[in-house]
Amino acid sequence: MSEEEGFLRGIDYEDPLVRYRGERISYTLKKLSGRDLQLDENFLIDTYYIHYLPMPIPKTKEDVPKGKEIMYRFIDMMLNSPLVEENRNYSMVNSAVSMALSVSYVQNLIEELERIKRTSQSQEERQMAEQILNGLMKGSGGKQGQKQQQQQDSQQMEKLMKQVNDKALSKAIEDAESVRNLQKIIGGNGAGTGSILNFEGEIHEVLRLARNTEIKKILEFLSGMPRLGSFTKKRTTRFSRGELYGYEEGSDLERIVSSELALPEELFYIKLAESQLLLYQKRIKEVLGPIYLLLDKSGSMDGEKIIWAKAVALALYSRARRENRDFYIRFFDNIPYPLIKVPKNAKSKDVVKMIEYIGKIRGGGGTDISRSVISACEDIKEGHVKGVSEIILLTDGEDKIAETTVRRSLKEANSTLISVMIRGDNADLRRVSDQYLVVYKLDHEDLLKVVEA
């Protein structure tokens, strides 16, 4: 086996795409750690393909060059890990999840070894950690490799390697689960929704999001909702040319069922005159406008309320993406915050920025619901957003509404208002809203009530 190759059979380590995977992992590790770790690139490639391939096959131990034994040990431990096998259903042929697993595993592996090297009270353990780190670096081998070979067969070395491997792998699978939830919830993976967002190019940003405590809570909450990924809103209108969905009687010759043409001429004209000809019923799908969401971030919303409201925001974006609609979101307290737009053909980096923005918002400030609704209406009237007919408002409603002004603004913008009251009630808002929902439990059922409204 050449020293320029890795440890898996069937991988062409000179293939440009294979090299790209290794370079991408190395680049992502540098972005996350802020330094160049100088790791062996073939080792990085192998950590990726262990998860990506349906059945990765290792080369024999006898094929391992001197100085590469430590890398081979880690590859072998991953290949024989029940955690990796259990997770393969999600990582197989999924480049973003495989990339997340590889990057997170290597990052946690290095950080754990460096921690042991820096803080362990055992000199022997510190030396072993340094030895293992050296064994993962570019160009490791030669005399140093022979020295390592003499030392690394000890039980202590094996125990330490297993310890850091298991810890790194466990953290990597946790990170990859969040990446998978992002793909499932935000990208959409149902039939007819198009390809899921890959996220591979922004994997360092996605991993940072995956490790954000609040985003992780939201993703875990949403991932337990099987109905979320399948609901779509469809509107149709009857039309003479379109999709066939039934039969009716009438006189529209463009939609006549062919069997009617075989009728005797006299009977045919009688049925035509009396509008009793058998016709096809046809319809076409209406194009749905963008989703515009106003989300209250005032002090009274802090805590469970705003986390649930953010989950609703991501669920509504998920629906917008499946229905090929633009998505707008504006937070407000006593003032409206900048309008965020995610177009229907958004790239993954735009979606990541939107989620990152949502994750950073914290509850605080006063509440001015009227001003936020008027700002949304201004967005529509001035053309900052196009095609919006409904404004969705998420709030706990602790404010006095300027009814006359809000009604006038909604009328001028030709828009309707759907208000969702989060553990609250507001008589003024109830009167100006076209649809008024109240939620108390803040669970999956309440969320679906809003998303399906």
Domains and CATH numbers, the chain: 16-211 (no CATH), 236-285 (no CATH), 291-451 (3.40.50.410)
Task: Tell which residue, 396, 360, 363, 364, has the closest CA to residue 214.
Answer: 360
Residue with tokens 């990152």: 356
Tell me which of 424 and 250 has the higher pLDDT: 424
> In the predicted model, is pLDDT for residue 194 greater than 50?
no
269 pLDDT tier (thresholds 50, 70, 90): confident
Band (346; pLDDT cuts 50, 70, 90): confident
Distances (CA, A) of 65 to 59, 76, 165: 11, 15, 22
> Cβ distance 302 to 312 under 8 Å?
no
| Neighbouring residues of 151: CB distance < 8 A, sequence distance ≥ 6 | 128, 131, 157
Residue pair 7/71 in contact by the 8 Å Cβ criterion: yes
- The predicted-structure confidence for 113-148, as pLDDT tens digits, reads as follows 999 999 999 999 999 999 999 999 876 654 444 444
pLDDT at 2: 53
pLDDT band at 451 (very low <50, low <70, confident <90, very high): confident
Q: For a pLDDT cut of 90, what percent of the chain falls above it?
A: 57
**At residue 285, does pLDDT exceed 60?**
no
Q: Are strands 277-285 and 236-250 parallel, antiparallel or unpaired?
A: antiparallel
Condensed to tens digits (0 to 9), the pLDDT of residues 223-255 reads: 877 666 555 555 545 555 556 667 888 888 878
- 3 has pLDDT over 60: no
Quote the mean pLDDT of the chain.
86
CA 184 remoteness from chain centre: 6
Alpha-carbon gap, residue 51 to 88, rounded angstroms = 6
Q: Which whole-number Å values give the CA distances from 264 to 253, 255, 268, in the listed order? A: 16, 19, 6
Q: What is residue 427's predicted lDDT score, i.e. its pLDDT? A: 94
Query: Is 60 exceeded by the pLDDT of residue 153?
Result: no
